[in-house]
Structure 1
Amino acid sequence: MTIRHFFKLALLPVAIGQALTAQAETPTTSANQNDQAPSSFMTRFMNDDNPLRLDFNVGDHPSNVQVYGIIDIARTSVNHSLPENYELPNNFYPYNGAKITPRTTSRTEWVNGGLQASRLGIKGEVGKLQMWDRDFKFMYQFEAGFNPLDMKLHDAAQTLADNSGTNANSSVSADSSMNGELFARQAWVGIDGGKLGRVSYGTQYNPFFEITNPYDPNSKADTFSPLGESGTIGGGGGISENSRMKNTVKYGNTYDVEGLGKVNYAGMYQFGNTAGTSEGYGYTGQLGFENSVFGVQFAFNGFNNAVKAGSAAAGNPAANDTITASLYNTEATLIALKWTPNKEIKFTGGWEWYRLKPSSDRTIKYSKLFDQTVFGGVATSALQPGYKQDNNVYYIGASYDFSQRIPALAGLTASVGYYATRFDAIDGPTVSTNSQGKIDTWTSVIDYKINKRFDTYVAYTNNHFSGDKFPRSTWYQDVKAVGAGVRFRF
């Protein structure tokens, strides 16, 4: 498939969106022309911000419940890749690189989540709950990630098991914070006290995940931006599984500084070491300031006995359909900046540092992890005492809104970003240089918003791998991907 075909595919949904919009805007006639006709469901669906929201009362308490979701499908071509795996949130994974194997070749396939992984959720609130002469709101949110191409839940752990033992390198695989659970994306309940802040409990986003979304030049595109592809750097502070924190209590608040902007802060704690509920325990914190021109966000986290899943014992038939579990202690910091000098252009960038260290416990028994059998029945520290590895990620870029200068191009935006990932050598009593390497990534996205429900896009990314971690004898040095798709949001 050529670039010309991708652009044709990206433009196809425009006609669909225009037809739906035209239908939605057609007035409904009535027998009495003086009576105002009620809005049709299609009109509300195409024009309302929350079309599937229901408002009601629970006694004297105003309440609402809302069903929402995203379906994002793209046609994507990669120059070097194993066969796609539809159980991953990213069916292709250019940022993960490609080993030189007989199954690695150029591929063009339909994938889920070019810009955002598809999801379906429900959220709501019950208001005006009186306590201490104040009004509180009870809130909840439950969100599942799925692939609309096969209607399966995202299950990265299954992809690792599929590539263990004699099935090594049979398809794309990676670890993730989404491993087959129904509400793996989010599942929490909380109380909002207005100026007092909000307290919530459950499975919630790590602040690193929430910050990198608006501060990524390419809006954390799931198949094309390193911050979208990788939970390790795009949310977990070094371990992908920590980008969503389970069994976690969170407190957050935002307040206005009159005439200046808004200050936000949050803190979280994950209760861990409960197999099947949350693996590892840790804390995170966030502090930020934003106004219409400038924004800065800072976050830090630390985890003990954090679990990173992997494929087991390549070539060993006894390891088929199992996974491994490695343990780490981690530290991480993130600072992100944005500058919007005018309405049409926005500059964003950031720096993330994370350190991998030996785990607090050398081993922890896990017969099962993410509903997968753990090879050997034990999780083991990935680093020996006295060793550590520092890693740095830098990114910078800009986005441009054409509508501000050219009204005829309303809905059209373009973005470009550069990302540099640096893996230091594992340092300790001796130095392991084969862990040292870097990835230089260029990504660009052109997105056209047809209406509130539909947008279509084309995107390109190039990932250049170098250093001892990615030797030329076993790794392709450049992995490129180009795609076009349509995203439906409701």
Structure 2
Amino acid sequence: MKLRSMALATLLACSGSAFAQSTVTLYGVADINIEYVNHVGAIPTAANQFNPGAAHSVFRMDSGGVSGSRWGLRGTEDLGNGVKALFVLENGFSLDSGALQQQSRMFGRQAYVGVQSSSLGQITLGRQYTSIFEALANFVPGAYATQYEPAALLTGANFREDNTVKYTGQFGPVTALAHYSFGTGLALPAFVGVATPIGGNGEVPGQARRDSAYGAALAYTQGPFGVTAGYDQWNPTIGTSSGTARKAVIAASYTYGPAKVMGGYRWGQSKNAADVLIGRDDFYWIGAAYQVTPAVALSLEYDYDNLKNQFGNTSLANPWQVAFIANYAFSKRTDVYLSTAYAKNAGLALDSASNFYATSLATGNSYALPNGKNSMLGAAVGVRHKF
């Protein structure tokens, strides 16, 4: 009897140790605001004969001002010898309506599983962020704020990709990233200058290049200084073949006390299925984030896009935007914010045909300029709770 008791105690102890090596965490963000925007038109698509219509001012409730509303599960299991299994499932939703985002995917923000080595890095498979999107996260003053950050123009509308294998390695102050997508799962409607939809829903049998994508990035952070560089390529379906969208980026940051200054340059080029140039631009940004007090944070960002070619037009006015965010934290989990931006020669978030109106399509709120207007002003007051 005594031996049985000892055996049972040993079994329970081992069982508890095994369970302690596995963790699963539920997390999320609930972010909502009231927004005012002037000079709003309709997204010009084939459904409205590519006519954005007349200008309107709007008051609306929006989900996601400084952060996209989400909930997710992430977990790890210690496999021994410095190796872990890991997974992330992250759902994006509209807090104002409860609807799913990311084309109604259950886990549209992220969905992947992989293996991590403490010395060699990690390999993950599933729906993930591109390498340059992740590498730039610490070099953008607005920190990819959902409402007005021109992330889709900076890193591409394909900044999340399905069917992706990705490598991430941390080697002292250096972070290395590389990924390959067998089919991005990004489909955009036809616009002026492109007669057919762009992209597709996944892999195309017999045509490995169509809707594939790949990229890589390196980031170095040592003390107050940081620098990153990366490359991204997407081969979207255009008709029955594929085009090419390429981007290369370099950015730097410097932290001095409570202030962090950031800026960078992104080269972009797009070609159609016949290898004819349909897009070429140089994108620049600069700004700063300042922690005034433990509770008060400010950020200011200026973005400028030098449009050299857009669907054959080489004389378009260059879009630019200035955006400001003031944030007050009641606690580590709850804060309120004021977010405002002014854009010229494009809508807020620099939404236009240059980025296929990706921000408007993703959020369900149009930032398309109407007929006869070339500027847009927006302001939002919101609350965010993290759990």
Q: Is the 8 A contact 1:414 1:445 kept in 2?
A: yes
- 1:157-176 per-residue CA deviation (whole Å, 9 max, x = no partner) reads xxxxxxxxxxxxxxxxxxxx
Match of 2:305 in 1: 421
Distance of 2:184 and 2:217 partners within structure 1 = 24
What does the per-residue CA deviation read over 1:256-293, in whole Å, with 9 as the maximum and x for residues that have no partner?
Answer: 1xxxxx11111111113886335611211011100230
Q: Which residue of 2 aligns with 1:365?
A: none
Question: How far did 1:139 drift?
Answer: 0.1
1:446 maps to a residue whose letter is: A
Structure 1 CA distance, aligned partners of 2:51 and 2:319?
Answer: 14
Structure 1 match to 2:60? 109
Among 93, 116, 119, which residue is 1:195 paired with? 119
d(CA) in 1 for partners of 2:376 and 2:184? 37
Aligned residues: 328
SS at match of 1:419: strand
Larger Rg: 1
Shift in alpha-carbon separation, 1:114–1:473, aligned structure 2, 3 A:
closer
Give the drift of 1:414. Answer: 0.9
Q: In the alignment, is the contact (CA less than 8 A) between 2:135 and 2:218 conserved in 1? A: no
Distance in 2, Cα, partners of 1:443 & 1:142? 31
Inter-partner Cα distance in structure 2 for 1:473 and 1:283: 35
- Alpha-carbon shift at residue 301 of structure 1 (Å): 1.6
Aligned to 2:8: none
When you count strand as a share of all residues, which structure comes out higher?
Answer: 2
Structure 1 counterpart of 2:262: 348
Change (3 A) 1:401 1:59: closer
Q: Is the 8 A contact 1:424 1:437 kept in 2?
A: no
Which one of 174, 180, 201 corresponds to residue 276 of structure 1?
201
Task: Measure the CA separation in 2 of the matches of 1:82 and 1:254.
Answer: 45
Query: C-alpha separation between the residues in 1 aligned to 2:87 and 2:125?
Result: 10
2:313 is the alignment partner of 1:432: yes
1:443 Cα deviation from its structure 2 partner: 0.5
CA distance in 2, matches of 1:82, 1:232: 19
Match of 1:395 in 2: 285
1:67 equivalenced with 2:26 (yes/no): yes
Distance across 1 between alignment mates of 2:297 and 2:241:
42
TM-score by length of structure 2 reads 0.78
Q: Offset of 1:433 from its aligned partner?
A: 3.2
- Classify the secondary structure of the residue corresponding to 1:152: coil
Q: What's the counterpart of residue 169 of structure 2?
A: 253
Matches within 5 A, 1:72-83: 72-82=31-41
In the alignment, is the contact (CA less than 8 A) between 1:100 and 1:476 conserved in 2? no
1:395 CA drift (Å): 0.4
Q: What is the 5 A alignment of 1:217-236?
A: 217-227=141-151, 231-233=152-154, 235-236=155-156
Cα deviation for residue 183 of structure 1 reads: 0.9
Displacement of 1:195 in angstroms is 1.1
What's the offset of the Cα at 1:135?
Answer: 2.5
Matched, 1:412 2:308: no
Q: Distance in 2 between matches of 1:469 and 1:266?
A: 29
Number of the residue aligned with 1:5: none
The correspondence for 2:226, drawn from 295, 317, 324, is 295
Match of 2:140 in 1: 216
**C-alpha separation in 2, matches of 1:442 and 1:401:** 19
CA distance, structure 1, for counterparts of residue 181 and residue 353 of structure 2:
32
2-structure distance, mates of 1:267, 1:473: 39
Residue 358 of structure 1: how far off its partner (Å): 1.9
**Distance between the aligned counterparts of 1:463 and 1:201, measured in 2?**
37
Sort the Cα spacing of 1:303 and 1:100 in 2 relative to 1 into closer, same or farther, 3 A.
closer
Whole-angstrom distance in 1 between the partners of 2:232 and 2:145: 24
Moved over 3 A (4+): 56-61, 273-279, 324-327, 431-434
Measure, in 2, the Cα distance between the counterparts of 1:188 and 1:413: 33
- 2:100 matched to which residue of 1? 153
Candidates 268, 272, 276, aligned match of 1:358: 272
RMSD across aligned positions (CA): 2.8
Are 1:459 and 2:339 an aligned pair?
Answer: yes
Q: Note if contact 1:211-1:336 (Cα within 8 Å) is conserved in structure 2.
A: no
Structure 1 residue identity aligned to 2:336 = T
Aligned pairs for 1:135-150 (under 5 A) are 135-150=82-97
Shift of 1:232: 3.7
- Once residues 36 and 373 of structure 2 are traced to their aligned partners in structure 1, the CA distance between those partners, rounded to angstroms, is 16
With over 3 angstroms needed to count, the CA separation of the structure-2 counterparts of 1:205 and 1:59, relative to structure 1, is same
Structure 2 CA distance for aligned equivalents of residues 273 and 189 of structure 1: 17
What's the secondary structure of 2:105's corresponding residue? coil
Q: Does 1:445 align with 2:325?
A: yes
Which amino acid is the alignment partner of residue 341 of structure 2?
T
Distance in 2 between the 1:207 and 1:393 partners? 18
Q: Which runs of 5+ in 2 are unaligned?
A: 1-14, 44-49, 186-199, 204-209, 347-351, 355-368
2:10 corresponds to: none
Could you say what secondary structure the match of 2:287 adopts? Answer: strand
Whether the 8 Å CA contact 1:100–1:475 is kept in 2: the answer is: no
Q: Which has the higher helix share?
A: 1
Deviation at 1:67, TM superposition (A): 0.6
**In structure 1, C-alpha distance between the alignment counterparts of 2:372 and 2:17, rounded to whole Å:** 60
Give unpaired runs (5+ residues) of structure 1. 1-55, 85-97, 155-177, 257-261, 309-323, 360-383, 404-409
Given that residues 161 and 184 in structure 2 are in contact (C-alpha distance below 8 angstroms), is that contact kept between their aligned partners in structure 1? Answer: no
